[in-house]
Amino acid sequence: MKLYERFLNYVMYDTMSLVGQNTVPSTPGQRVLAEALTEEIRSFGIEDVRLDEKGYIYGSVPANIDEEVPVIGFIAHMDTSDAHPSPKQQPRIIENYDGSVIQLAPGVELDPDTDANLKNAVGCSIIVTDGTTLLGADDKAGAAEIVTALEYMAAHPEFKHGKVAFSFTPDEEIGTSQDNFDVAAFGADFAYTVDGADFGDIEYENFNGASAVIRIKGVETHPGEAKDKMKNAALIAMEFDAMLPPWERPEHTSDYEGFYHLLDIKGDCSDCEMSYLIREHDREKYEERKETVKRAAAMINARYGNGTAEVEIRDGYRNMAEMVRPHMHLIDFAKEAIAECGVEPRVPAIRGGTDGAELSFKGVPCPNLGTGSFNHHSLMETANIDHMEKCCEAILRIIGKYAGFKAEGQN
């Protein structure tokens, strides 16, 4: 089966994950795809593939060389975002894309003048949505690329490699996939998530991330009798937000610049609740951002009385750079492999997080590779077939390079 055919098969599984469910995976469609993937991989003759009770797939291909080399792993997630529905009909293939504007649905179009990845796809074959659903390339493109690489290894015993581990996980989009990830069952020394966007990207620097909830307690009275009595929680919430630097919001920042993002606000005169994302690459600046939120709440309490503002801050993921930098062979081999595929490698910082960040702090350094898909979580989601094939080739090239790995830090 060709890689793009495999991908088109996977995207027709409805695997949207949902917050607040009491099951793992959070939705039954993820389990259905996991069972199909497990059987498909077994059909290649790969015996070591296991589907656990929580919907995680773990497996490995044994080494066919005598040298002792690290176990390299590859990970993709099976779920898709809840931003839009999964495809209801087979997505459209546009062969030899000519660089024109693509109308997907009324009011939904792909324009190369405003989409650099689409512009770079001129001459390639691409897969697009009908403008009403996601495509599911995040991360079924990564899953298809890893499975295709496994199929190649099983069919080509002359391809020399050390032991290769693989895993496919549920519920990445709702941030819980690492909660139940079994590092020992995975069994890799080093790994790559195959979950990025444009092929050629190698990502190992990500935000430190926290979530903050601010609860404002007001005093509600009849507005005709409100003088010196009313404390309008909604207005106090707006006052709190104004204390955070307005130029440090996502829409005004880029590259390594962190931000405060007001994700949600709800309430009334009596009570109001605000949810924020706090993001920063630098660890010291990250800690300072959390203190800034606490100081703003303290100022509200000093102005309106103790207990007016309550703050709850929870740390999420950390910047994996500190865990990857001692093992830069991960980046060097990926750069070499991508260059050998005819693409200039890039090493951008992630303005977000990744499962690889959490896994890196569990002892398996794990940068992220671009899959050749883009516009994730949107109706304009697109997969570049040519770049997906190059990603699969790069995976195999990386595996081949580790077959000659002799010692830590030695290429």
- Write down the catalytic residue from 40, 79, 145, 189: 79
Active site residue 14: no
Measure the CA–CA gap between 220 and 307, rounded to whole angstroms: 15
Exposed, middle or buried: residue 400 (CB in 10 Å: 0-12, 13-18, 19+)? middle
Active site residue 68: no
Q: Which residue reads 């990744």 in tokens?
A: 354
**Residues in CB range of 40: below 8 A, 6 or more apart:** 147
- Write down the catalytic residue from 138, 139, 172, 173: 172
Cβ atoms 169, 181 nearer than 8 A: yes
Cα dihedral 178→13→18→51 (10° resolution): -30
Q: What are phi and psi of 280, to 5 degrees?
A: -165, 135
For residue 333, the SS3 value is: helix
Cis peptide before 179 (omega within 30 of 0): no
Q: What angle do CA 212, 218, 220 make, to 5 degrees?
A: 150
Cis peptide before 70 (omega within 30 of 0): no
Half-sphere exposure of 60 (CA within 13 A, CB side): 19
Catalytic residues: 79, 172
